[in-house]
Each structure stands twice: as C-alpha cells, then as structure tokens.
Amino acid sequence: MYYTIFIVAIIILVPSCLYVVRGKTAAILETFGRPHTRSVAPGLRVKWPWPITSIVARVNLQLQEIHADVSVKTSDNAFMTLPVKVQYRANDDGVGAVKAHYELEVPEKQITSYVLNNVRQTASGMEMTELYANRDSVESQVQTALSEQFARFGYIIENVLVDEPQPSTEVRDAFNKVIASKRLMEAARNEAEAARIKLVGAAQAEAESKKLQGEGMAQMRTAVARGLEEAMETMQKAGLSSDVAIQFLTDTNRIDAITNAAAHGNTIIIDVGQVKDVATTAALLNSIKK
C-alpha cells in the first residue's frame, strides 16, 4: 500500500522537478512566492516540485528592436520627425534577467517613452542643418542616456539608430523655395556674366577694328603725303611757285571731294569756290601737261 503511494507520488512529482530551459532564454523561479536572486540558464534543470518551487516566467534574451517616430522642434523652430530604432536585450547574467522580469511591466512601452523624451531634449538644442549633419551625435547621446537608465532594470541598450530626419510639409516647402531662389539667383548671375563677356568681347573687337582702321588710315595718309610731295616736285620743276602749286593741289582736292559727294545723285552740292579759281586750276593743268 505505502509502496504504491510512493510510486504514484514519484510519478506525479518527478515531472514537476525536471524542466528544460531553451537557448537564449532565462527561467525565473519562485519558492513559496519568493523570487530567486538568479535566473536559470539554458539546459535540463532540476528544482523542487510544484507547489514548492514554480517557474513564473521565461525571459527572452534575444536582441529586440523598437521603432519610434519622434516629432521634434529644433532650436531654429523647424518641425521634424526623427525615425528612431532602439536595439536592446535583457541582461543574460543571472541577476540581470531577474531584474528584467520584475522591474519593468512593459519594457517596450517604457523604453519608447524614454526615447521620445530624450530625443526631443537633445534635438531641441540643435538647428535643422545640425540635425542632418550630426545624427551620430544624437545616437550617441541617446544611447548613453538609455544605457545608464535601463542598466539598473536589467536591460542592455545595444544600439540607437537615427534615420534621416523628415521635415514637416511646411518646412519642406519653405526649404524648396529657398533652393529654387538660390538657383534663380545663380542663373541670373550666370546670365549677367555671359552678357558681360559678350560686351567685353564686342568692346575688344571694336577696339581691334578701330586699331586696324587707324593703321589703314595712317598708311593712306602716308601714301597721300608721298603723292603730294611728288606732285609738288613735278610742279616746281615745271616752273610753278610753291604758293601756286599749293593752290592747285587744294583746288584739285576740292574738285575730287565734290565729285565723290555727287556720285550717288541724291546729294545737292553747293560749291562756294569762285569761277576764277576753276579757270586758274585749268590753266595750271594745261601748263603741267605741256
């Protein structure tokens, strides 16, 4: 009779004494409702039978991730949304796993609340451009603060990742307008520079043209002077005085000018020269020919 009772007791109690803790898991035990100070590591384990000792929880030791979109206001009054990811896990030492189970009721929610608070506080002291350029600084500050805060609750903060800030619609529109304005200003500067280059080129071309015209005119005047010199010598050899020769050349130039001016037929020429000057010129021509 007693033997049968003993066998039945063993059959009932042994299964409650043996238990398996799976990998990346920590078992939390209580004896008569009092928590054990250390969790139980993975493997086949033995405990006092129920109801003396019971398994009250199994803590997940795997790396977990929380995602939160944090709305922030920068120091230059720009409203942004920061996508933040927090990678965390329960401490896998015996004491840490026990704290992770008992200290926080809903760790995901409490970590998220702390992240929102800390990110807003950090971002409020930065300008919008700094927030884009110094995301690493935000990650570092938030991770340091979270690690210090949650280490005493049995959690390890492995990483805090801050993705690219997302500006509000108003900020995005204003930023696009600024960029468009800068592009228009740059285009205007380019157009002004192109116009300046054209003007400089035209001025240089005009200067070069005038230079060439001047050189041509100088050569022409040299040739005219040489011709006049030869004409003077010829007339002096014919026995004409210098005054008469000069008068002759003057009248000849006047007649040439009148002829050229009247060549187009639409110009009225009024010659103020005297008839006797013309006669004198004709006589001089006849004397030179002889």
Query: Does 276 score more than 50 pLDDT?
Result: no
| 172 in a structural domain | no
On whether both 154 and 70 belong to a single domain, the answer is yes
Per residue, what are the HEC states of the chain? CHHHHHHHHHHHHHHHHEEEECCCEEEEEEECCEECCCCECCEEEECCCCCCEEEEEEEECCCEEEEEEEEEECCCCCEEEEEEEEEEEECCCHHHHHHHHHCCCCHHHHHHHHHHHHHHHHHCCCCHHHHHHCHHHHHHHHHHHHHHHHHCCCEEEEEEEECCCEECHHHHHHHHHHHHHHHHHHHHHHHHHHHHHHHHHHHHHHHHHHHHHHHHHHHHHHHHHHHHHHHHHHHHHCCCCHHHHHHHHHHHHHHHHHHHHHHHCCCCCCCCCCHHHHHHHHHHHHHHHC
On whether both 97 and 126 belong to a single domain, the answer is yes
On whether both 90 and 159 belong to a single domain, the answer is yes
CATH number at residue 158: 3.30.479.30
On whether both 75 and 48 belong to a single domain, the answer is no
Confidence of residue 201 (pLDDT cuts 50, 70, 90): confident
Distance CA 255, CA 138 (A): 96
On whether both 50 and 88 belong to a single domain, the answer is no
Domain boundary (167, 197, 212) is at: 167
| 188 in a structural domain | no
On whether both 87 and 148 belong to a single domain, the answer is yes
CB-CB contact of 146 with 161 (8 Å): no
**Percent of residues, the chain, with pLDDT higher than 90:** 7
Structural domain harbouring 245: 238-260+273-290
| 110 in a structural domain | yes
Alpha-carbon distances of 192 from 131, 186, 196, 199, rounded to whole Å: 36, 10, 6, 10
Please list, residue by residue across 72-95, b when 16 or more beta carbons sit within 10 angstroms of its beta carbon and e when fewer do.
bebeeebebebebebebbbbbeee
Amino acid at 239: G
Query: Does 246 score more than 50 pLDDT?
Result: yes
On whether both 45 and 83 belong to a single domain, the answer is no
Query: Does 275 score more than 50 pLDDT?
Result: no
| 94 in a structural domain | yes
> What is the arithmetic mean of pLDDT over 25-43?
89
Residue 87's pLDDT is 92
| 177 in a structural domain | no
On whether both 25 and 74 belong to a single domain, the answer is no
Q: Using one digit for the tens of pLDDT, what is the confidence trace for 67-98? A: 988 888 888 888 888 888 999 999 988 888 99
| 73 in a structural domain | yes
| 93 in a structural domain | yes
Alpha-carbon distances of 285 from 177, 260, 281, rounded to whole Å: 85, 20, 6
| 184 in a structural domain | no
Residue 289's pLDDT is 47
Domain boundary (118, 150, 167) is at: 167
Domain boundary (138, 167, 196) is at: 167
**Percent of residues, the chain, with pLDDT higher than 70:** 78
On whether both 120 and 29 belong to a single domain, the answer is no
Q: Domains in the chain: how many in total?
A: 3
> What is the arithmetic mean of pLDDT over 282-289?
51
